[in-house]
Structure 1
Amino acid sequence: MDSRASTPSESSPLLSSPRNHLTGDELDGPTSGPPGSGIVTVSRTDLIWILAGLWSAVFLGALDGTIVATLMTPIGNYFNKSNQASYIGTSYLLSVCCFTPLYGRLSDILGRRGAMLFGLTLFGAGTIGCGLAPSMEALIAARAVAGMGGGGIMTVASVAVTDLIPLKRRGLYQGMANIMFGLGAGIGGPLGGWMNDAFGWRYAFLFQIPILAFSFVLVTWKVSIPLSQDVKDEPLYLKMRRMDFAGSAALAATVCCLLLAFTFKSTESLPWSHPLVYGLLIASVGFGVLFVAVEAFWAPYPVMPLYFITQRTPLAVSLSNLFCSMSSFSMIYNVPLYFSTVRLNSSADAGLHLLPHSIAISTGSVFAGWVMRRTGKLYTLTLLSAMCALYANTMVALWNDNSSKWHLWGDLIPQGFGVASLITTTLIAVISCVSKTDVAVATGLTYLFRTTGQVLGVSLSGTLLQGVLLSKLRQRIHGPNAEQLISRIRHSTDVIRDLDPALRKSAIDSYADALRVVFICQVALNVLTFLSCMAIQENPLPGTHEEQESQYRRNLARRRRRTSDV
């Protein structure tokens, strides 16, 4: 068996006492494991504190995400660089994309608590930097630092809960985690808009620091995770070999060069034949080939183990998460822009339109967890979830001047419900087909494709938007000062309100046309999501730790047979 396929498992409990282990039934009341199993019940209070430590960090990550989505327009206006506003989201998500896969390995080296605290520290430093940023460039850099920790918050929390809960109940716990995620996402939009209107956008970042401190204290206090003995005895250089820095760097270079090429093409209006544009595209392909080579032949513990991608279910889950995240984050970042530029709403009103979507995220995830717990099945639920997201994106693409308020508020609900259910079921699907030693890496791999989709969704939609917007503005606005006016409209959306009626209509119609193209592309991405989900295989969902351990052993034996056959 290839050594890169094995990682140390972390069987130690998340409580300070080495005797205690959670069984997954605690919220339903005290239970006892079978004699000799080593599974002992804990008090409900202890369980609540453990989950609070993990999920308060998840809440903070979601809160920050929708706050920034709402504030992109006012921040761009503040620095007079609205055409660079998409970089605020792109820089964060690019860092998340590059660092998220490392946290799966890091949690096996530092333990779940150590990895979570590391992520919270980076996230906090970046958030403070955003609140104090003197320029757009400094703010973009600070968002990149925050992203280095933001991806770890979500990943490590998910891995830690997987350590504790049997898969049949795991979906329900993921649903409860997504309630916190949905609550944070729901509050973030209107809260960020209100704080911007009342105090200024900087306070929307700085007020997060007390929540961050609360999360940090809870994780330090309750989530006590001793390292497994085999990792603890290893010298430092062997521990560091488990971190695939080369693979992560190659992945970062691949995505970054691709995004920069599209950005220069649209934002700077460079032609495809410009050396900078096609040079970056060639570099992206080269770094992509290098990334695959590193993962296949060099990295002893790759961030994206290729033996996962060659299996049917992990490949289907990875692709579905990629396409779904691209569509979802494009929606989250462009819907507030629609209400700010086409409907001319305030920042608070624009962010408020994300509230039903965020509530649906919580509902969809809990519903998926409840269904999986009751039925032990996930395939049909996954397909129905993909169809919900497809329906919602189709309705949003049909928005026009005659769309009723009911549509403007309600069309996002099926998208939030479907996406939340989909990411819950697909996470359980991929965990159910791997061995125990691969759980952390498999979870990290799922988040890798999810975060890659997020950064591609935000950046490519921004690139597409700017390209179509520039073309439409040039078609509608003419005259000696046309280019200067077009530049002002692209750099600051606040200008639209002050234009004379004819020019205001031209600007609004141009934004509406550009956003409609973006929304239609989201529909296409949801079709690809549905097709990917069709390839997912149904696996049994264990209801107890004993059943889950047996399934892990069967999955390991199956992988060993495949490896020996190859």
Structure 2
Amino acid sequence: MSGRTTPDDETSPLLGGQRTESHRAPAANGDTPAADHKKGDGVHLVWILAALWSGVFLGALDGTIVATLLSPIGAYFNRSNQSSYIGTAYLLSVCCFTPLYGRLSDILGRKGAMLLALSLFGSGTLLCGVAPSMDVLIAARAIAGMGGGGVMTVASIAVTDLVPLKKRGLYQGMANILFGAGAGLGGPLGGWLNDKFGWRSAFLFQASNVQPRSWPLIRNRLQVPILALSMALVLTKVNIPLPEEVRSLTIHTKLKRIDFLGSLTLVLTVGSLLLGLSLKSTEELPWSHPLIWGLISSSGIWAVIFAIVEIKVAAYPVMPIRLIKQRTPLAVSLANFFSSTAAYSMIYNVPLYFSAVRLNSSTDAGLHLLPHSIFLSCGSVFAGWLMRRTGKLYTLTLVSMSLAIVASVYVSLWNFNTSEFHLWLDLIPHGFGIASMITSTLIAMIANVAREDIAVATGITYLFRTTGQVLGVSLSGALLQAILTKQLRKRITGPEALEIIERIRHSTTIIPDLPTPLRVAAVTSYADALKAVFICQVACHTLALLCCLPIQENPLPATMEEQERLYRDRQMQQNQNSPQNESDTP
């Protein structure tokens, strides 16, 4: 199937008839964000990007800081078995609330939606620093996640308002570099703060009576300035006007445009599914457990209710089904889902391979991801540069996804005889290809929808991406533990076998100190289990490549004027094809 088709084809649904929302006509005198705002003009644009990307940097920094604190937090509350819920609660919240910001940014404006996201993120992080118990801390991370996903989504939407599509990928690459810098600094910074001042200092809050006096110093010098600076910059610099039709509405009318019922059913659909899979992985419950199948079944029921609400009830649906029916949005969403599932499985399980199979230290295991992380940024910038230079993305997308497949095949072939050369370099094509593919598919999504659908379409893209990330971690963990347990029980027998097996499953640090027969059994079992996980990653990447094939390649405008003309032409075409216009035709 060729990816080079005309823009007109995109207005026809892939899965049958569609219900068309009323489209906003272009306001007179170019009264649109593109016409009203200073697009891409020097210092003005720099300030806006600083406002948007400072939040992105802070979100990435926070994520890896918290990842380094799971063990000390679990030990502090004497509930280490629940420390994984700190990360799970955040990711679940991000998945559930990310798509809501697409519609909110159209109702509250980019500034309002970004301030809401930063406020929720900051409030949740503040509560983490003063949490008196593990339960409160987990709830606080969920609140932070409500804002964390919005920071990324709204920043992406706002940059799309400011930059023509032909240059959009390059700016996305620069944002990914900043995200990577935050993620890279978070781990070392979190470890240093924990060692120096205790885990609470990493959340950087006001000290209580039992906290060291130096905490306020850290707070004043680090987190509060970053968060306050980000909010101040958003408040003063991000002034991207909405169309006059939306600006003239009353608050009550704007609130009526929020799809509360659709949002609720979407949260219940995604939340039930991810919570069930997360509990299966973290609590090691069987699939037959009432809690697991109950949550997954309820997710299916809520999904049906959500679809009915979006098709029949919501006037302004949070996830317009008509978009998902269209060829390119559907292809992009599925490609992002499968690629993110495989990518996050890779990121979480490759270090485990070096710890449990190669018996490297945690530091050495983490270092093997360094080339991958570096080329993640390189791939995104390269994709942006190439799209800016050529105005094309279809071939780039397919080649990028093919690189990820090649890398995942190499990883699946790792064994005890694999050379250090391959162990260090096989992940490079994966990082480069995934970053390039995610950047190009985001531009493909934006280039194939009407202007009024850009915010919602961006939210949908991030929803499928983040859902894939959580599923990649949860499902790979469940598969790993199932195969590992089976192999260990086959290889380790005797009166204390069950106790030894449980110790090996829960901690790889004991493996080097085991007697030789047990050590060989543990290493071989982990190798078998991880090989199965890596093969599944190849399958997911292959599915992502197949999903990329139907993506259409539309022209990428080089200026905002060209982009506005393209959007107006597409809107006129959609209005002509709408059922109302057809019924008016004699």
Smaller-chain TM-score bracket: 0.7 to 0.9
Among 331, 343, 366, the alignment partner of 2:381 is 366
Structure 2 residue runs of 5 or longer lacking an equivalent are 1-17, 205-221
2:260 corresponds to 1:245? yes
Aligned to 1:122: 120
Kindly indicate whether the alpha-carbon contact (under 8 Å) linking 1:132 and 1:202 is maintained by their aligned counterparts in 2. yes
Aligned to 2:38: 21
Instruction: Write the mapping of 1:448-487 to structure 2, written as runs, cut at 5 A.
Output: 448-487=463-502
Secondary structure of 1:377's counterpart equals: coil
For the structure 1 residues 139 and 470, does the alpha-carbon distance in structure 2 shift closer, same or farther, using more than 3 Å as the test? farther
For the structure 1 residues 527 and 255, does the alpha-carbon distance in structure 2 shift closer, same or farther, using more than 3 Å as the test? same
Aligned partners of 1:343 and 1:214: how far apart in 2? Answer: 45
Aligned to 2:4: none
Among 89, 97, 100, the alignment partner of 2:98 is 100
Aligned partners of 1:154 and 1:480: how far apart in 2? Answer: 53
Instruction: Write the mapping of 1:55-454 to structure 2, written as runs, cut at 5 A.
Output: 55-69=53-67, 86-133=84-131, 136-192=134-190, 202-206=200-204, 210-225=225-240, 228-265=243-280, 267-454=282-469
Aligned partners of 2:306 and 2:565: how far apart in 1? Answer: 35
Shift in Å, 1:182 = 2.5
Percent identity (aligned) = 64
Secondary structure of 1:540's counterpart equals: coil
Aligned partners of 1:64 and 1:329: how far apart in 2? Answer: 18
Among 514, 520, 523, the alignment partner of 2:538 is 523
Kindly indicate whether the alpha-carbon contact (under 8 Å) linking 2:33 and 2:242 is maintained by their aligned counterparts in 1. no
Taking structure 2 as the reference length, the TM-score comes to 0.83
Aligned partners of 2:348 and 2:200: how far apart in 1? Answer: 19
Structure 1 residue runs of 5 or longer lacking an equivalent are 25-41
Deviations 1:60-94 (A, max 9, x none): 22333444556556766777767655544332222
Aligned partners of 2:422 and 2:201: how far apart in 1? Answer: 32
Aligned to 1:548: 563
Aligned partners of 1:420 and 1:275: how far apart in 2? Answer: 39
Secondary structure of 1:57's counterpart equals: helix
2:62 corresponds to 1:45? no
- Segment drifting more, 488-497 vs 456-465: 488-497
Among 573, 578, 583, the alignment partner of 1:558 is 573
Aligned partners of 1:183 and 1:487: how far apart in 2? Answer: 37
For the structure 1 residues 235 and 314, does the alpha-carbon distance in structure 2 shift closer, same or farther, using more than 3 Å as the test? same
Deviations 1:539-563 (A, max 9, x none): 0111112211111122223333443
Aligned partners of 2:381 and 2:526: how far apart in 1? Answer: 36
Shift in Å, 1:2 = 6.5
For the structure 1 residues 440 and 262, does the alpha-carbon distance in structure 2 shift closer, same or farther, using more than 3 Å as the test? closer
Give, as a single letter, the amino acid of the residue that structure 2 aligns with 1:553.
R
Shift in Å, 1:481 = 3.6
- Segment drifting more, 499-508 vs 541-550: 499-508
Kindly indicate whether the alpha-carbon contact (under 8 Å) linking 2:36 and 2:241 is maintained by their aligned counterparts in 1. no
Kindly indicate whether the alpha-carbon contact (under 8 Å) linking 1:394 and 1:523 is maintained by their aligned counterparts in 2. yes
Aligned partners of 2:257 and 2:529: how far apart in 1? Answer: 45
Deviations 1:326-384 (A, max 9, x none): 11222223333334444454544444333322221211111111111111111000101
Give, as a single letter, the amino acid of the residue that structure 2 aligns with 1:155.
T
Kindly indicate whether the alpha-carbon contact (under 8 Å) linking 1:172 and 1:370 is maintained by their aligned counterparts in 2. yes
Deviations 1:262-290 (A, max 9, x none): 44555555444443333333222111111
For the structure 1 residues 516 and 90, does the alpha-carbon distance in structure 2 shift closer, same or farther, using more than 3 Å as the test? farther
For the structure 1 residues 286 and 390, does the alpha-carbon distance in structure 2 shift closer, same or farther, using more than 3 Å as the test? same
Kindly indicate whether the alpha-carbon contact (under 8 Å) linking 2:281 and 2:474 is maintained by their aligned counterparts in 1. no
Taking structure 1 as the reference length, the TM-score comes to 0.86
Shift in Å, 1:441 = 1.3
Aligned partners of 1:497 and 1:311: how far apart in 2? Answer: 54
Deviations 1:508-527 (A, max 9, x none): 44333333322221111100
Give, as a single letter, the amino acid of the residue that structure 2 aligns with 1:106.
L
Give, as a single letter, the amino acid of the residue that structure 2 aligns with 1:141.
A
Aligned partners of 1:12 and 1:554: how far apart in 2? Answer: 15
Deviations 1:480-501 (A, max 9, x none): 3433443344444444455444
